[in-house]
Amino acid sequence: MALPLTPIMYSARAQKMRASEIRELLKLTESEDIISFGGGMPDPTLFPKNEFAEIAKDVVRNEKALQYSPTDGIKPFRETVSRLLRKKGLRITYEDVLITTGSQQALDLISKVYLDPGDVVVSESPTYLSAIGAFKSYEADLIGIEMDEDGMDMDKLRNYLDEKDSRCKFIYTIPTYQNPSGITMSYEKRKELLEIAREYNKPIIEDDPYGELAYEGEMAKPIKSLPNSDLVAYLGTGSKILAPSLRVAWIVGPDELLKKCSMGKQSADLCTSALTQSLAKEFIDRGFLAPHLEKLKRVYREKRDAILEAMEKYFPSTVTWTHPNGGLFIWATLPKGMNTSEMLPRALEKGIAYVPGRAFHPDGSGENTLRINFSFSTLEEIDKGVKRLGELIKEAMA
């Protein structure tokens, strides 16, 4: 029996893959009696189960919903999505919509289509953890631009592009109720960002998973709804407004980009489930979405108010945090010198989970910050969890 001659070699990208320590730690929270502010999960008690049950029994009787389907998505669902987005001011038809298997796939396809090793993506800092993961999986470098209360610092963005323009392939932004910060980019900055993108000819990837979850004030206008926004690819998803397990999301973008993404998708997973696309389509077409959104917003607003109140009550006065008008996250900053990654194991011991801020920083900074999700836990858990977290912070400060 021959012995192995040479080790089996993984690809360069696979050799760089590292399991996230934080993810491994947070995995532990799933099975235990831990109050989790860690994930970005919807409140499972709010899933519209009755509506889905009613729709599902019809949908599975449709042969087309069980068969292979076009890579770009089934036409009726693309039409439904384009109708929804036209209401948000996008001037599009179904042909401008590519359906993806969750927004994560949209990020993967856009990376596949734009990024060579060593290319640069510019994003807010902090930014979405799994977007960093997608960009890095294509061996790109990430440059994070700091934010003010009204979004990305446009002067810093301009400075960066002036100095290092050539390697930047696109600008990634979550302008509304940003993950992880909860910050919303002002209308003025949206216009300015679009101007900068046009000036430097850089595509904008506008990721908008939370835009519908507006707890007060007007709904923010997508950058993609502004005039002359051809350079913008807009990403939306059903995960936060319908259910994550449908794995339906969409890219709206220039024709050439969608064609490339579609070719990439063909070799990535052939097509997104026609069954879950049909469920999402029927849910929207039967008029279930509007009342469901009202309910989501009512409950999440209440949770947001409760968590802000609890933080006021239990956190030491040296801690600051954002006050988001929507979405799922609050961003807290502890005094300089503190380290939320090092605090995490102790937090889990105390039965409370969060995500350390460093994970969201392209440059690995932000060690005194953390992200707190308020959609998943109950009101009682929120009070109890924030109390524990406050105690933990005081302990760590002592």
Helices (H) and strands (E) in the chain, counts: 13, 14
Taking CB under 8 A as the criterion, the residue among 22, 66, 84, 226 binding its own copies is 66
Is residue 259 a contact residue for its own copies (CB under 8 A)? yes
For residue 147, list its beta bridge partners.
152
Structure tokens at 332: 């807290």
Residue with Cβ nearer its own copies (112 or 361) = 112
Q: Which residues fall within 8 angstroms of residue 281, CB to CB, at 6 or more apart?
A: 74, 76, 77, 80
Residue with Cβ nearer its own copies (7 or 217) = 7
Q: How far is the CB of 154 from its own copies (least distance, A)?
A: 15
Residue with Cβ nearer its own copies (267 or 317) = 267
Structure tokens at 370: 């953390």
Is residue 154 a contact residue for its own copies (CB under 8 A)? no
Residue with Cβ nearer its own copies (240 or 368) = 240
For 154-181, give one letter per residue: b (16+ CB within 10 A) or e: bebbbebbeeeeeebbbbbbbbbbbbbb
Q: Which residues fall within 8 angstroms of residue 6, CB to CB, at 6 or more apart?
A: none
Q: Could you say which residues in the range 134-153 bind its own copies, by CB under 8 A?
A: 134, 136-138
Contacts within 8 Å (CB) and 24+ apart, 395-398? 395/346, 396/338, 396/343, 396/346, 397/316, 397/318, 397/334, 397/335, 397/338
Q: How far is the CB of 276 from its own copies (least distance, A)?
A: 6
Amino acid at the residue 125: S
Using CB under 8 A, which of the segments 144-152, 263-271, 310-318, 387-395 binds its own copies? 263-271
Residue with Cβ nearer its own copies (18 or 336) = 18
Q: Which residues fall within 8 angstroms of residue 41, CB to CB, at 6 or more apart?
A: 244, 373, 375, 376
Residues 73 and 262: their CA atoms lie apart, in Å, by: 10
Site string for its own copies, 93-132 (x = CB under 8 A): --------xx-xx-xx---xxxxx--x----------x--
Q: Could you say which residues in the range 69-98 bind its own copies, by CB under 8 A?
A: 69-70
Q: Could you say which residues in the range 269-328 bind its own copies, by CB under 8 A?
A: 269-276
Residue with Cβ nearer its own copies (118 or 364) = 118
Residue with Cβ nearer its own copies (265 or 308) = 265
Q: How far is the CB of 378 from its own copies (least distance, A)?
A: 14
Using CB under 8 A, which of the segments 55-63, 205-213, 306-314, 337-345 binds its own copies? 55-63
Residue with Cβ nearer its own copies (38 or 220) = 38
Q: How far is the CB of 350 from its own copies (least distance, A)?
A: 24
Q: Within 10 Å of residue 248's Cβ, how many Cβ atoms?
A: 28
Q: Could you say which residues in the range 159-198 bind its own copies, by CB under 8 A?
A: 169, 198
Query: Can you tell me whether residue 63 is helix, strand or coil?
Result: helix
Q: How far is the CB of 246 from its own copies (least distance, A)?
A: 7
Using CB under 8 A, which of the segments 6-14, 86-94, 186-194, 213-221 binds its own copies? 6-14
Short-list 148, 138, 211, CA closest to 170: 138
Taking CB under 8 A as the criterion, the residue among 246, 252, 352, 393 binding its own copies is 246
Strand 352-353 with 35-36, pairing? parallel
Query: Can you tell me whether residue 211 is helix, strand or coil?
Result: coil
Our measurement of the distance from residue 155's CA atom to the centroid of its chain's CA atoms, rounded to an integer in Å, reads 25
Q: Could you say which residues in the range 218-237 bind its own copies, by CB under 8 A?
A: 228
Size of the site for its own copies (CB under 8 A): 86
Taking CB under 8 A as the criterion, the residue among 33, 57, 162, 398 binding its own copies is 57
Is residue 373 a contact residue for its own copies (CB under 8 A)? no
User: Residue 53 is inside which H or E element, if any?
Assistant: helix 49-59
Using CB under 8 A, which of the segments 17-25, 175-183, 186-194, 324-332 binds its own copies? 17-25
Q: How far is the CB of 104 from its own copies (least distance, A)?
A: 4
Q: Which residues fall within 8 angstroms of residue 19, CB to CB, at 6 or more apart?
A: none
Q: How far is the CB of 361 from its own copies (least distance, A)?
A: 18
Burial class of residue 18 in the structure, from the number of CB atoms within 10 Å of its CB (0-12 exposed, 13-18 middle, 19+ buried): exposed
